[in-house]
């Protein structure tokens, strides 16, 4: 285990009507005039946006709306948000939605007090120091942005999708999680969210750091809970208990606890971000295609940890590591398929992916070698993209 500092200052308010706490929670943060950020209408249609703004009004907080955030969000909405915040002296952000909405709110929060262009942070030219406080009402358990310090934005000029990682600066101050808000999710979004949260654990599980038994066991436990609850949530989208378990798994998967004491990998996410940047697929669906291909590549030289995953999480009994790894990958694919997730680029809706372009952007964005578990050069990443065909 390597030394670590674990600090997740997000306050979680979990349960029915959590969104109605918005006014009280934001007042406790001292906020008086906020920007409420949302997507393309699901939050309005379900009524959650109305309940949130009513709660703000009751608490004496004034608000302005910024809606229409796209999945795989891009820079123009961030710039629009920064402009509005400056014009209206906004003192905080409230994201009502999923990863795309939350990440846009975080980017606005970073950009408002900054004199230069907000993209400087994503381009690695500046480090986020000051930022407006961000609060969240989560409507889809998936990206884990409600508990992470990260924000993933695509620059439309060149379609560069970059994940900015901050330790504390962009972590939400409060996240309100009501599992009932997720009843309206279409099955493909529920499934994509499940693949994403599993990937967030696996990116940390496949680590070059040995002797992290406690973190391995926590990770395996959350994975087992996801695998146990997923069939229930797909069969009965209004099962409170299944939705609640999946929602909390999504947060635990990505708020850092599954990475304590070890180096993390994150190559599969970088590989996927090139797919969703160019082809605008749902990030989690993309990961369902990427992860088995990544593991197939890794299993050729490092099968032992995949075999451990299989034995502890997927009920694999095979003693030989290489054979156990192969069975594990098949079981992971079968699990994704059972949720209706794609397993190939074609099933993802990408018939002729431009692999050389994705590999070029990937290594321009991330350097010559990608990831920590098995550092990948461009030959390796090309092979992994080919394994997805």
Residues lying near Zn ion in the complex (CB under 5 A) are found at 196
Please report whether residue 342 would count as binding ligand NZQ according to CB under 6 A: no
Please report whether residue 348 would count as binding ligand NZQ according to CB under 6 A: no
Q: Which listed option, ligand NZQ, Zn ion, none, makes contact with residue 245 (CB within 5 to 8 Å by class)?
A: none
Please report whether residue 19 would count as binding ligand NZQ according to CB under 6 A: no
Query: Of residues 92-111, which lie at the interface with ligand NZQ (CB under 6 A)?
Result: 97-101, 103
Q: Which listed option, ligand NZQ, Zn ion, none, makes contact with residue 150 (CB within 5 to 8 Å by class)?
A: ligand NZQ
Binding residues for ligand NZQ, total number by CB under 6 A = 35
Applying CB under 6 A, the span of 91-99, 309-317, 326-334, 337-345 interacting with ligand NZQ comes to: 91-99
Instruction: Please give the Cα distance from 73 to 190 (Å, whole number).
Output: 19
**Nearest distance from residue 9's CB to ligand NZQ, in Å?**
15
Listed in sequence order, the residues at least 6 apart from 118 whose beta carbon sits closer than 8 Å to its beta carbon are 75, 78, 79, 82, 107, 108, 110, 111
CB 276 within 8 A of CB 348: no
Query: Of residues 192-211, which lie at the interface with ligand NZQ (CB under 6 A)?
Result: 193, 196
Please report whether residue 355 would count as binding ligand NZQ according to CB under 6 A: no
Q: Cβ atoms within 10 A of the Cβ of 50, count?
A: 12
Indicate the residue among 245 and 308 with the shorter CB distance to ligand NZQ: 245
Query: Of residues 131-150, which lie at the interface with ligand NZQ (CB under 6 A)?
Result: 139-140, 142-145, 148, 150
Query: Of residues 39-58, which lie at the interface with ligand NZQ (CB under 6 A)?
Result: 39-43
Strands (E), the chain: 11-14, 33-38, 62-66, 92-97, 134-138, 150-155, 160-165, 174-177
Please report whether residue 8 would count as binding ligand NZQ according to CB under 6 A: no
Instruction: Please give the Cα distance from 15 to 10 (Å, whole number).
Output: 16
Instruction: Please give the Cα distance from 45 to 48 (Å, whole number).
Output: 8
**Nearest distance from residue 129's CB to Zn ion, in Å?**
26
Q: Which two tokens stand for residue 10?
A: 């997000």
What are the two backbone dihedrals, phi and then psi, of residue 77, each rounded to the nearest 5 degrees? -70, -30
Instruction: Please give the Cα distance from 356 to 276 (Å, whole number).
Output: 15
Instruction: Please give the Cα distance from 33 to 65 (Å, whole number).
Output: 11
Which positions lie near ligand NZQ, rule CB under 6 A?
39-43, 71-72, 97-101, 103, 139-140, 142-145, 148, 150-152, 163, 181-182, 184-185, 189, 193, 196, 254, 269, 283-284
């Amino acid at each position: 285990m390597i030394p670590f500092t674990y600090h997740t200052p997000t306050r979680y308010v979990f349960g029915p009507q959590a969104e109605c706490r918005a006014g009280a929670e934001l007042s406790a943060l001292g906020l008086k005039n906020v920007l409420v950020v949302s997507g393309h209408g699901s939050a309005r249609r379900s009524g959650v946006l109305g309940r949130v703004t009513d709660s703000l009004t009751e608490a004496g907080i004034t608000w302005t709306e910024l809606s229409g955030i796209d999945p795989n969000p891009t820079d123009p909405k961030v710039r629009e948000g920064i402009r509005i915040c400056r014009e209206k002296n906004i003192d905080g952000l409230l994201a009502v939605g999923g990863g795309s909405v939350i990440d846009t709110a975080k980017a606005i929060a970073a950009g408002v007090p900054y004199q230069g262009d907000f993209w400087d942070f994503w381009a690695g030219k500046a480090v986020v120091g000051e930022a407006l406080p961000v609060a969240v009402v989560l409507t889809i358990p998936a990206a884990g942005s409600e508990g992470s310090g990260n924000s993933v934005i695509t620059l439309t000029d060149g379609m560069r999708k970059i994940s900015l990682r901050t330790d504390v600066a962009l972590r939400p101050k409060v996240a309100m999680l009501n599992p009932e808000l997720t009843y309206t999710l279409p099955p493909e979004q529920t499934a994509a969210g499940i693949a994403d949260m599993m990937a967030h654990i696996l990116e940390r599980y496949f680590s070059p750091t040995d002797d992290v038994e406690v973190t391995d066991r926590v990770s395996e436990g959350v994975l087992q809970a996801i695998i146990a609850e997923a069939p229930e949530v797909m069969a009965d989208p209004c099962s409170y208990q299944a939705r609640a378990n999946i929602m909390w798994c999504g947060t635990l998967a990505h708020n850092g606890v599954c990475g304590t004491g070890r180096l993390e990998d994150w190559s599969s996410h970088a590989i996927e971000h090139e797919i969703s940047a160019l082809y605008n697929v749902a990030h989690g669906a993309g990961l369902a295609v990427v992860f088995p291909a990544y593991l197939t590549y890794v299993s050729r030289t490092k099968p032992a940890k995949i075999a451990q995953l299989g034995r502890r999480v997927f009920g694999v009994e095979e003693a030989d590591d290489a054979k156990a790894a192969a069975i594990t990958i098949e079981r992971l694919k079968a699990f994704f398929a059972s949720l209706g997730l794609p397993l190939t680029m074609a099933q993802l809706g990408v018939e002729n992916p431009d692999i050389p372009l994705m590999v070029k952007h990937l290594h321009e964005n991330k350097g010559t070698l990608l990831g920590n578990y098995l550092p990948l050069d461009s030959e390796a990443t090309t092979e992994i993209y080919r394994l997805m065909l």
